[in-house]
Chains A and B, each alone.
Chain A
Amino acid sequence: MKTLTAILLLSAAATAQIRVIQLPGKSPLVTFRLVFTTGAAADPVDKPGLANLTAMMIAEGGTKDLTYKQFGEAMFPMAASFDAQVDKEMTTFIGETHVDNLTAYYKLLRAKLLEPGWREDDFQRIKDDAINGVRVGLRNNDEELGKEVLFAELYKEGTYGHYTGGTISSLEKLTLDDVKQFYRMHYSQSNLFLGIAGGYSEKFLEGMKKDFRTLPTGAAFHPRNKAPAPITENRAIVIEKDTRSVAFSLGFPLLTTRATKEYPAMLLLASYLGQHRMSGGVLYDVMREKRGLNYGDYAYIEYFPFGGFSMEPPQNVARHQQAFQLWIRPVEPPTAKFALRLALYEFDKLVKEGIPQDGFERTRDFLTKYVNVLTRTKSAELGYAIDSIWYGAPNYVDEIKKSMSTLTRDEVNQYIQARLANRHFVITVVTKDGEAFKKLLASDDPSPMTYNSPKPEAIMAEDKIVEKYPLGLKAENITVVPVGTVFQ
């Protein structure tokens, strides 16, 4: 087993405390993960998208001394990287270089973060990118769109209630001064986790810490997100656009995080119901393998952006509040309602019957080994270490293994009752003909399945139940929105 060697060094200084996480090693590579504990939750109410635009401006703009062009020319021969990732509570800069180029690379990284160029022409270009990111990017990814609308809806009254990338009308109004002000307020020493791994020297790190002590010391005040309003009835948002198939995301707020004691039990039940992008989960098995409804179906207890591109969970998207979610990948329109019914039927079955003993054991054994692969790169290992500290939780991989060795089926079933029973869903649907789909959802008419091949008796019998399974959606709880208005 890999031992995490992250060392948390708290600066002796009484005020500013840069938290340093280091994983020194012999690798010819040096990996950086600089996390500022700020993000879209800190966007001013009238300025959604500001945190993201600020990070983009740093990652994709010039520095005080170098234009963006000059910066690109300096980076190119090294094939090194420097990227930004923004979520609700964290803004992360991730970089990597071969140790041959460490001095030259660090000079660039340092200038990017400590001496941004703030040029107006960079700002115009990056703002256009951000606007197009919503207008033609997110809106042309039906699955990601549905997921983001779901989260925004679940947390609409709190600081998580807008898309991290912002709205188009907000982005259009943001100014370079807004970005500079956000940077001054939030890019501070006490907000910073400085993660570094690989073949750097102690002297190098000392120099880096000294440089980053030039950031302002104090942390800006962030209001904690409000507790989400309970969902009292199932409701649906139908996003209408011209598209071939029907994509669904559904969920409800969940206060389970890595800091809460039920986390391992909840992780296990989500894995049992639908481990991300793997066969073996219940939903994947009944929906894709047995019935050929779509490409895959999964369950989550934590935010997992870009699941269509990524096989393993991201790091540094830690949140105080999460959602329990089901992701139903695009379905052919004639079978869409059946697919939704089947997902809810399986969810209700889990709540009613609990997890079976063999399913519990199988999932527990799987997770005990699977967690090892999550930290197979240095960058991921740094990311997990920073997340654990942020949550105030022990080392993730060790803790999951330890928990799995003592967790019981009864505990999982207790949490199924406590966290999943008697919940209602917000369902987002991306489809063409929104009004027709609304009618379909609101009606109790059966939605029988037909197959292109004979199916076993058991499936046919189960289908008879599923085809009439109540969705619990009243017409007044279904809203149709044209895609052009989403995050507008």
Chain B
Amino acid sequence: MEDVTHLRGWPPYNKGVIAKWLLLACCSAAAFAANGPGKVFPYAYTQEDLPNGLRLIVVPTEFPNIVATYIVVQTGSRNEVEAGHTGFAHLFEHLMFKGTKNYPKEKYTETLRNIGASSNAFTTDDYTCFYNVFSKEDLPTVLAMEADRFQNLKYSEPEFKTESLAVLGEYNKNSSNPGQKLREVLVDTAFDRSTYKHTTMGFLKDVQDMPNQYDYSIKFFDRYYRPEYTTILVVGDAKAKEVRALVDKGWGQWKHGEYKPEIPQEPAQEQPRTAHVDWQGAALPTISIAYKGPAYTDTAKDSAALDALAYLAFSQTSDLYQKLVVTEQKADSLFGSMPNRVDPTLFTISARVKKQADMDYVRDQILAAVKTFQEKPVDAARLDAVRKHLRYQLALSMDSSDSIAGVLASFVALRRTPDTLNKLFDQYAALTPEDVQKAAAKYLVESGRTTVTLTPGGAR
């Protein structure tokens, strides 16, 4: 199998040609009300813990014949706490395809091919996810094979060294994108101790040193590929009781681990920071302004309020976008985002500017917009439109068992339960214009700001 890593890059470079490939999945299934009461996640599900700490979540859906298994390991680049070993969560995603005694790599691949499964894996800041989509009759085979590799993975040092080169190849194929470089520099500048200081790919020097880290890789597996870090999501044409029996059989013997990482806490930033990237080659000047934001929460309004703020202040329907991109046409893109992460992370606003001379102007406009949202509550009708958008976006993204599992995986990675989704949407529902204003004032402060610019070679 090949793997994919979630990386942030720039929006499509040729909107007409590429637009289709960015389409979000569509369709929804169960009953849904855009503004109504009730839970946004419309499916009934079971959630059970095995004695060893493994969690199993089964979501039967009305889509016939197909089952999706998403196995979420709550280990991502966030867990890379030791110097010199960044990128290991992602490397491990690759190594998980190296096989076991019972299912050597070739047999594993062959079996998945024979059942026509769509299989892959990806790594993020906070988790690694291994997924398969297949016909329901193959569920016993898939769960048994996955149980085997999670418990009995085996790879030699030469195999390890060769795979680490494929990871370098992955770094290389991403490296022609200036947005990628900008992101690397942004997180490296903004953070001092947080493991979000490096991207999921890791620092290049660590990626280049991976071939020498065989012993460490075994330690990494021993620490994190354990039941207490793992949640199995089974979504589709499946019955909870039967799935539980299969999981008990294959996964019940898996031993609970001992290791708990001490994830360093980021100290408070005391003054604004800046950095610059000289891009060798053609690029449009780009500016990213990031603020130290909160960790994901669904027991307070902070994450939800900042997420709403990103839409209100910096999305396509925001006044600033209309001014900079549509009316004045000084920038060709503008967006803001507050990602949901386990640890405190960045609220980021980015703009790509057409002319170097307008960089300062665009920066000042972004800062002025931040100030406006700190000083005045937003229009209640616009906040309602954001709420409606979020709910329809969610409904539209759940068009198959596969895509439902994908949505759930990102929330299970945060709080190990699908109810996370409902709780977050309860927070959106309760937001007031004052909440958004308060969050802007609390988090988007000058002393917590990092500004990174990128310009084409020597044109600073």
Contact = CB atoms under 8 A, between A and B. Distances in A.
Interface of A: 27-29, 31, 52-53, 55-56, 59-60, 68-69, 72-73, 76-81, 83-86, 92, 94, 96, 98, 100-101, 121, 124-125, 128-130, 132-143, 164-165, 198, 241-245, 247, 277-280, 284, 288-296, 305-306, 308-311, 314, 329-332, 362, 365-366, 368-370, 372-373, 376-379, 451-455, 483-484
B145 interface: no
A73 B315 CA distance: 11
B23 A81 contact: yes
B284 A136 contact: yes
Interface stretch (B174-182, B220-228, B290-298): B174-182
B27 A198 contact: yes
Given A137-B12, A330-B172, A73 B317 contact: yes
B28 interface: yes
A124 B329 contact: yes
Given A55-B16, A294-B169, A77 B389 contact: yes
B17 A165 contact: yes
A72 B281 contact: no
A370 B116 contact: yes
B34 A100 contact: yes
Shortest 6 CB-CB distances between A and B: which pairs? A137-B13, A369-B116, A292-B165, A133-B14, A453-B158, A56-B16
A309 B326 contact: no
Q: How extensive is the interface on chain B, given as a class?
A: 35 or more
A453 B14 contact: no
Interface string B1-37: 1100000000011111111111111111100101000
12 contacts: A52-B14, A79-B391, A125-B332, A136-B13, A136-B284, A247-B173, A279-B1, A292-B166, A295-B2, A329-B173, A330-B172, A373-B118
With a 10 A CB-CB cut-off, give which of B17, B116, B173, B282 has the most chain A CB atoms: B17
A374 to B, nearest CB: 10
Interface stretch (B47-55, B106-114, B248-256, B444-452): B106-114
Interface in B149-193: 157-158, 160-166, 168-170, 172-173, 175-178
B392 interface: yes
B385 interface: yes
A292 B163 contact: yes
Interface stretch (B340-348, B393-401, B429-437): B393-401
B280 interface: yes
B400 A377 contact: yes
Contacts of B399: 27, 29, 377-378
A279 B94 CA distance: 12
B354 interface: yes
A98 to B, nearest CB: 6
B344 to A, nearest CB: 28
Given A52-B16, A292-B164, A332-B172, A79 B396 contact: yes
Given A98-B396, A244-B175, A139 B282 contact: yes
Interface string B48-91: 00000000000000000010000000000000000000000000
B27 A27 contact: yes
B244 interface: no
Contact of A29 (B14, B165, B396): B396
B173 A28 contact: no
B168 A69 contact: no
Given A94-B23, A142-B176, 4 more contacts: A79-B393, A140-B177, A143-B176, A279-B109
Given A132-B284, A378-B27, A164 B17 contact: yes
A141 B177 contact: yes
Nearest to B325: A125
Contacts of B354: 128, 132
Given A291-B162, A293-B165, A294-B166, A133 B176 contact: no
Contacts of B25: 377
B16 A165 contact: yes
Contacts of A330: 169, 172-173, 175-176
B316 interface: yes
B120 interface: yes
Contact of B392 (A101, A141, A164, A291): A101
B349 interface: no
B317 A76 contact: yes
B283 interface: yes
Nearest to A68: B326
A139 B15 CA distance: 15
A231 to B, nearest CB: 26
B388 interface: yes
Contacts of A86: 16-17
Contacts of B177: 140-141
Interface string B274-313: 0000001111100000000000000000000000000000
Contacts of B116: 366, 368-370, 372-373
A69 B34 CA distance: 23
Contacts of B109: 279-280
A84 B26 contact: no
B22 A83 contact: yes
Interface in B323-354: 325-327, 329, 332, 354
Contacts of A28: 27-29, 32, 395
B15 A128 contact: no
Contacts of B457: 242
Contacts of A94: 19-20, 23
Contact of A279 (B97, B158, B280, B322): B97
With a 10 A CB-CB cut-off, give which of A81, A135, A142, A362 has the most chain B CB atoms: A81
B402 interface: yes
A373 B133 contact: yes
B13 A98 contact: no
Contacts of B392: 77-80, 98, 100-101
Contact of B17 (A31, A133, A455): A133
B115 interface: yes
Contact of B13 (A56, A68, A132, A373): A132
